[in-house]
Structure formats: structure tokens, C-alpha cells
Structure 1
Amino acid sequence: MSHRFDATVLRDYDVRGVVGATLGPADADALGRSFATRVRRAGGARVAVGFDGRISSPVLETALIEGLIASGVDVVRIGLGPTPQLYFAEATLAVDAGVQVTGSHNPAAYNGFKMVLGHRAFYGGDIQDLARLAAAGDWEAGAGTVTTADVRENYVQRLARGFAGNGYRIGWDPANGAAGPVIERLVQLLPGEHHVINADVDGTFPNHHPDPTVEANLDQLKRLVAERRLDFGLGFDGDGDRLGAIDGEGRMVWGDQLMMLLAEPVLRRHPGSPIIADVKSSDALFDRIRDLGGRPVMTRSGHSVLKAALSEHGAPLAGELSGHIFFADDWHGFDDAQYAAVRLIEAVSASGRTLTELRGAMPALCTTPELRIPVDEARKWAVVDEVLARLHADAAEVNAIDGARVTTADGWWLLRASNTEAALTARAEARDEAGLARLVAAIGDQLARSGIADPFGAGGGAG
């Protein structure tokens, strides 16, 4: 018996595809068998399993568990919740690994799996190894058991434990994702006045797409903050591991800007520590870390990559533009938007200023948001290779840690292949609008030279 996965679902740091097209119950069963095999060969015996609020998640969870127990591991089901709740279960229960059934921030038709083994990120070659085991039918056999554990209340209590901040008037938008019930309980434990919208878990995402890094998805939150005159608003993605924010004036506080705020109290407690940020992040963040006495470390993008880098460098904090934020001081080192929200409230409190004031005092750089350019899955990597070859031939100043991050007299631009979508992602940052226009034009020129026409003609400009 063996199984072959559609190659497009084997992402760098998780497994993800379109249910009914590239991903289904048979894949979940095979993934369970392969992952259980890895767990057992690492000396483990128990795996925690959770799932998000997508319509397809219960069916995939059932098939996943069937595969896990068929290869001889015992399963602890923790039920519906955000991915960080699964990570919390893996860190605090007597288990050896964990799997979350989740499509993260992708459209409703998607689903997939995020995994952790021995408190460490399971990604890259590990993902490919699952496919190798499945294709060869190289699976352990056994008869595992299934039990259940309700960890939500322990998780929420731990999120709020020792909170040391002021009471603010805050809007919260879990976007009908899996974090809704956790956030509704969490705000009961925090001081201040809290307004939660879209808390009902609904896998059709009826109010807006569950990605808080796309500004249009925070329109409801902006209206709430404006109408209630709240201090700020917090937005969450479909599985609660990515945080977005707006200040009291409705301005976006991007992921790298959140890191600028979160780094200060962390470095006060851990002077001189490394702070990790991804290749998409602003130069202003790396400069801020230096100014605070920290050591900035730039890494590839990807939640599993940053989790691994956090451990490798012994860093107390890591984060990326997309809103994945990892704390290893007084937390378990995984990306958790709920915990990051609590720490953000504390950081604003400690500053003695409002979030609106803090946002207004940040460097006035001209940037694009993260721009997504649809490109066939099979083509996107080749485009990046072509761009890098041309840049090296032109002796450009390039950081190729993750795609091409190019520094020019105007600032910098980035082009890389997305690991979660059939897309390229791009970003640029300059000191003025004219410089930004030149950087965006440079990206467009490189794409055109690889046969991708006019990607920014529909308004992909500065934000």
C-alpha cells in the first residue's frame, strides 16, 4: 500500500491544497501514516490533533486520525480552535508531536496541515520526507488509541496570566476564523472595554476574507474603531496565528511595525539579544533593533523558518511582515496572534503613549504593502531564478536569502516566490514617492522580461 500526493500541496512549511482537487481524505490518511511513522522512529508515541473552522476540516481530521492510529501512535484530539492552541497543547500535554488541520488564511476551498515534532518546526525536507514515505508505503503499523482533551480554558488563562498593561478600548476581529471563541473568552480576562465582531466560526467567511495583512479585509474593523472611537483594533487570520492592527485613526500597523513596538520591552528584559525578522521587513525595523541595542537577524520568510531561526539563534522574539510573531521569553516559541495581541497591549502601555502616537512617530518611509502577483505554481520559482540571473549579470546589490532583495540608491525592492499560493510576492520601500515609483517600475520590468505583463497596471502602488 502506498500513496502519492499532488506535488503542489507539498509546501515548504506545511501541506496545503484545494479540497476536492489537489487534497482530500486519502491524502489526510496517508499524511497521518507518514507523520506517525516519523514520530515513532523518533521515539514518540502520542500526537495532539486540532482543526480549524473550515467546512472540510472535520472530514480531513477524521481521515488524518485514522492514518495516525493505523501507524501506531495514540491521538489526543483537542477539537476546534486556532493553530496556536494546538501548538500550546503540544507544548504542555504529555505528547510528542502535533498536527493542525488548517487552511490558514487561504480561500475557503483550501485546507491543509501544520505540524510540529518534539517542539520543533516540521518543514522543508521533513515535508518532502512524508511524501517519500507515502510513495514507498514505508509506514509503521500498529493500533493507536484516541482520547480527547479540552485545552481551551487552560490556553486562554495562560494567555492572560500576569498581564501587566492598561485597560484600553479595543476592537477585535477574528474574521469568523477558528480564534473567535478564544478571543471572546480572552477579553473577559483583560482590563478595558472590548468589542468583538465576526466571532462566530464560519468556514465560508461570510464577512470578509480572513487575512489581516490585506487592508481591505480590515474595513469592518476600521468602521468599528471609528464609530466607537476606540483606541485601536486587532485583526486575526483564519487560524489565529497572524496578527494585524490598526491605530485609532484607522491606519494599518504592519507586521514589521508591530515588531518595532514589541522589540523594545523585550530588549529591555534581554539586552543585546538577537531579534529575528524576515526578508520582507522594513529597513526601519532592523535599524530600530540596532538602536535598542539588539542584534537584527534577517531570515527567509515562512512561519516554520522563523520558528527554527528563533531556536537556532536563541532569540527571545521573531516576526515577519505577514503578522506571524514568535515569543520565546515567557512563552513557548511558536507564532500566536492571541499572545502577540496581549504583548502588544502591554508594550503600548509600557511606552506611556497611545498606539496612534507610536504609529505616527515611526519613520515616514514610502512603502508598498506585500503585493501578490498570480503565477502558475510550476512557473513561479523559475521566474525568480531568471530575475536573479539577470541581476547578478548586472552586478546589482542583491540579497538572495529568499528570492531577490535588491538595494538601490532609492531604497530596496523584493521579489520572491510565495510558499502558500500560486503567486510571486513583491515589496518595495523608498524615502519618497518618486523613488518608490522607480523601485516598483524595476520590479515590473523584471517581471515583463520573464513574460509576466503589467502586474501593477491595476493599482499596485504605495501603501
Structure 2
Amino acid sequence: MTHQFHSTVLREYDIRGIIGETLGTEDAYAIGRGFGTLIARDGGRLVAVGWDGRVSSPMLAEALVKGLNEAGVNVRRVGMGPTPMLYYAEASAEDVDGGIQITGSHNPANYNGFKMVFRGRPFFGADIQTLGRMAAAGDWDSGTGTAEDVDILDAYIDRLLAPLEGIDPQVLSRLKVGWDAGNGAAGPALEKLAARLPGEHHLLFTEVDGEFPNHHPDPTVEANLEDLRALVSAKSLDFGVAFDGDGDRIGAIDGKGRVIWGDQLLMIYAEDLLARRPGATIIADVKASRALFDHVAACGGQPLMWKTGHSLIKSKMKEVSSPLAGEMSGHVFFADEYYGFDDALYAGVRLIAASARLGKSVTELRSAMPQMLNTPEMRFQVDESRKFAAITEVAARLAANESGSPAEVNDTDGVRVTNEDGWWLLRASNTQDVLVARAESDTAEGLERLLAQIDEQLALSGLERGESVGH
């Protein structure tokens, strides 16, 4: 028995496709059979499985579990919930050897996919390609596994509340917070969490609906935060928190309705953490503001710029023993008092804790940040066969310093060029046929000059910064 996946489905960080077109139950079975085989060959016996609120998730879960069982592996179904609840099921139980969450993340309703953990580490890149080769060759073990249903929601909520221990209850009781679950999988967990949090909490769209009737659950798109902004304004709340479709990415606004972007959230978390862990290494992706790296250093930490991608960041955290990392996309990873995975509900609680411990409102913390001028993430179509080659060409020209201007070039992930005006970034997406650009400066004139440098490099490679495309 063999299986061939659609060419677009096995991606760098996860497996994702369009239901009925590029992804179906046969794929779910093959993923289970392959992943279960790898777990069994590594001496493992038990895999946790969870799923999000999409219409297609239950049928994919059934096929996935069948594949795992027929590879001889036992399954612990933790049910519908946010991706971090599945991560928690894997990380907190000694007898669990791996985990798979069925989720389309922030993609449209007709998408779905799989995020995986193998023996406590992210399962991505070459691991995912291995599943494809095993399926094509029918390289699967056979056996008979069992499946059980275990409700871990209350234990997970208990764990989420831990950061508030030891903080003055009176300070916490004065807080007023808005939350937007976006009809995603985090809704029921958020309801239970908010019921146990001190202070006043107002919730939006906690009913799970895989069609996302109110707004698309991607908190990095400012338009998706309008309902939360209106709630914070109407109720005079201290701040608001929003989640993506599977609850592993956070978005936030302060009491004035200003967006607190991923790198700005990391500034708050870093300031709080470094007061207790001086000298710690804090990781952020190459798209993050210079203000973040400067702030980490000013607070006594070691800033480290790393590649974009939640799996890549998690792996780097383990390598350098970093207690905190984050991405512009809203993935935030805590490994000081938590398990090192991205959990937006936990990040929301940590924002409450940070504000209370630092003795400043979230609005005050946001107001204290430097007013940098930066572009949004610009994403434009470039042929798959050309995107990495173009970046290599740009890097080579910059190394030869053909323009003669003094600049610092960081090639961690694409090219990030820093000069007297600020910095600009050009990188190839690992998941789409696009190039990603971003620039940041202190002045409008400086930003224009940086954008001109991006355009100049693209033109030299026969490309142009076309109309921006979505994720």
C-alpha cells in the first residue's frame, strides 16, 4: 500500500491543503501511518491527537487515528481545542511520545492541516519530507493500537493560571481586559480561563464556528482587530487580546486602541523576564524592529536575531537555552516557567502578569516604546524557481559593496541591511512563492531611501516589488 501527497501539501513548518482539492482523509491516514511508524521505530508507544473547530477536522481526525493505530501506536484523543492544548498534552505527560494537531491555523475555512511534535521537539522541514517518501514507498510498520478519549481542558487551564501566583491580588482585581477568540478553537478554553481570572473580562466570539462569520482569525491583520478595538473603547478596558484560529498566535491592542505588534509584545515580556533572569538570551525573527533588540540589551539581556518560522525558533531556543522568543507573526514562546511552545492564551496571561509586576499599564508600556516608522510586511509574487536565487544575487552584490555605501549586512534569513537610515529586509518565504520585504527608519525620508534600495536590488535581479499578496 502506497500513497502520493499533492505537491503543495508537505510544507516547511507543517502540512496544509484545501479540503477536497489537495487534502483529504487518505492523506490524514497516510500521515498517521507514517508518523506512527517513526514513533514506534524510535521506541515510542503513545501519540496525543487534537483538532480545531473547522468543519473538516473531525473526519481528518478519524482517519489520522486509524493510521496511527494501524502503525501499532496508541492514541490519546484530547478533543477539539487550541493547538497549544495539544502541545500541553504532549509536553506535560511523561508517557506521551508525540502529538498531532489537526488545524488550518489562520487559513480560510476550506483549508486544513497538521502540526506535529515528535519526542518534545518540532517536527518540520526534512521530517515532513520523510513522511512523503515513506508514503510513496509504502514504508510503514503494521500493528494494532488503541484509542482513548481524555479531557485535559481543566488541567490545561490550571497550568495557564500559574504565572499569576505571587502577584498582589488587589492589583490583578483592578484590571479590565477584552478578549477576541475570533470563533476559533480557543473559544471554550478562553471562557473557562476568563471565569477564573481576577479582574473584569469581556469576551468576543468564543463560539467555535469553522466558517469564521465575524472576521477572519488572523490577529496580525489590523482590520481583524476592529471589533476588539471597539470593545476596549466602549468598556474603557486596559487592553485587548486576540487569537488566531488555533490559538497559538497572539495579537493585542492597548487602552488607546493602538496595535501592539509581535515585536512590541516581546519588548514587554523581555523587560518583565529580564528583571528576574538577567543576562538571558532573547530571540526574535529577522522581521523584528531594531527597537526590540536595543530594548533587550538595555534591560540586560542578550538579543539574538534568528530565522522566521515557529519551528526554527523553537529549535534555536533549545540550542541556546533561551527562556523567551517571539516572531512578528504573534508566535511567542516561553521556556522560563513554561514548556517553550507558542501558546496565545498563556501569552495573554503573561501580559497581565508583566503589567502587574512592572507596575505599569499596558498602555504606558506601549507609549514608552520608540516611535519607529516601518512598513507592513510586503509580500509579492516571485516564481518558486527564482525566489531563493534572487536573494543569493542580492547578497552577493551587497557583499561586493557595489554601491559603495557603508552598511551592515545580516544574512541569517535572506538579507537584512542596516545603515544610517535604519534597516531593510528581503527574504524568500519558505511556504509560498513570494519574496518578503520590510523596512524601518526614524524618519519618513529615511524610509523612502530604504525602500528605494530594496527596489534597486530587485531591479538589478530583473524583479519588482509588485502588489502585496496575503499569507
Matches within 5 A, 1:22-421: 22-93=22-93, 94-161=95-162, 163=164, 164=167, 166-167=172-173, 168-377=175-384, 379-394=386-401, 397-421=408-432
Alpha-carbon spacing, 1:126–1:176, altered in 2? closer, same or farther (3 Å): same
3-state DSSP of counterpart to 1:182: helix
Name the aligned partner's letter for residue 285 of structure 1.
Answer: L
- The CA distance in 1 between the partners of 2:43 and 2:314, in whole Å, is 22
Deviation at 1:233, TM superposition (A): 0.7
Q: Which has the higher mean CA deviation after the structures are superposed, 299-308 or 128-137?
A: 128-137
Contact 2:380 2:465 in 1 (8 A): no
Deviation at 1:369, TM superposition (A): 2.4
3-state DSSP of counterpart to 1:322: coil
Contact 1:8 1:377 in 2 (8 A): no
Alpha-carbon spacing, 1:104–1:170, altered in 2? closer, same or farther (3 Å): same
3-state DSSP of counterpart to 1:191: coil
Contact 2:379 2:468 in 1 (8 A): no
2:434 maps to 1:423: yes
3-state DSSP of counterpart to 2:416: strand
Name the aligned partner's letter for residue 30 of structure 2.
Answer: A
Deviations 1:231-273 (A, max 9, x none): 1110110110001110111111011110110012211221211
Contact 2:89 2:152 in 1 (8 A): yes
Alpha-carbon spacing, 1:375–1:26, altered in 2? closer, same or farther (3 Å): farther
Deviation at 1:370, TM superposition (A): 2.1
Which segments of 5 or more consecutive residues in structure 2 lack a partner in the other structure? none
Name the aligned partner's letter for residue 352 of structure 2.
Answer: I
- The CA distance in 2 between the partners of 1:355 and 1:24, in whole Å, is 44
Identity of aligned residues (%): 58
The runs of at least 4 aligned residues of structure 1 exceeding 6 Å deviation read none
Alpha-carbon spacing, 1:376–1:147, altered in 2? closer, same or farther (3 Å): farther
- The CA distance in 2 between the partners of 1:386 and 1:25, in whole Å, is 42
TM-score norm. by structure 1 comes to: 0.94
Contact 1:16 1:420 in 2 (8 A): no
Corresponding position of 1:437: 448
3-state DSSP of counterpart to 1:166: helix
Name the aligned partner's letter for residue 46 of structure 1.
Answer: L
Deviations 1:29-71 (A, max 9, x none): 1111111111111110100000111122112111111111111
- The CA distance in 1 between the partners of 2:187 and 2:134, in whole Å, is 36
- The CA distance in 2 between the partners of 1:230 and 1:180, in whole Å, is 20
Deviations 1:388-444 (A, max 9, x none): 344445456422211221223211111222334443322111111111122223334
Deviations 1:208-236 (A, max 9, x none): 11110111110111111111111111011
- The CA distance in 2 between the partners of 1:186 and 1:376, in whole Å, is 45
Alpha-carbon spacing, 1:151–1:258, altered in 2? closer, same or farther (3 Å): same
Alpha-carbon spacing, 1:58–1:422, altered in 2? closer, same or farther (3 Å): farther
Name the aligned partner's letter for residue 402 of structure 1.
Answer: D
The number of residue pairs the alignment matches comes to: 459
Name the aligned partner's letter for residue 82 of structure 1.
Answer: P
Which segments of 5 or more consecutive residues in structure 1 lack a partner in the other structure? none
Deviations 1:345-373 (A, max 9, x none): 11111222211111111011111222232
TM-score norm. by structure 2 comes to: 0.93
- The CA distance in 2 between the partners of 1:49 and 1:384, in whole Å, is 38
- The CA distance in 2 between the partners of 1:174 and 1:27, in whole Å, is 29
2:14 maps to 1:14: yes
Alpha-carbon spacing, 1:198–1:378, altered in 2? closer, same or farther (3 Å): farther
Deviation at 1:457, TM superposition (A): 8.7
- The CA distance in 1 between the partners of 2:383 and 2:10, in whole Å, is 15
- The CA distance in 2 between the partners of 1:358 and 1:63, in whole Å, is 47
Deviation at 1:118, TM superposition (A): 1.1
Deviation at 1:374, TM superposition (A): 3.9
Alpha-carbon spacing, 1:52–1:448, altered in 2? closer, same or farther (3 Å): farther
3-state DSSP of counterpart to 2:8: helix
Deviation at 1:151, TM superposition (A): 0.7
Contact 1:259 1:319 in 2 (8 A): yes
Name the aligned partner's letter for residue 33 of structure 2.
Answer: R
Q: Which has the higher mean CA deviation after the structures are superposed, 144-153 or 122-131?
A: 122-131
Deviations 1:271-317 (A, max 9, x none): 21111111111111111111111111111011111111111111111
Contact 1:444 1:456 in 2 (8 A): no
- The CA distance in 2 between the partners of 1:457 and 1:108, in whole Å, is 22
Contact 1:175 1:237 in 2 (8 A): yes
Deviation at 1:379, TM superposition (A): 4.8
Deviations 1:179-217 (A, max 9, x none): 111111111111111111011111111111111011111
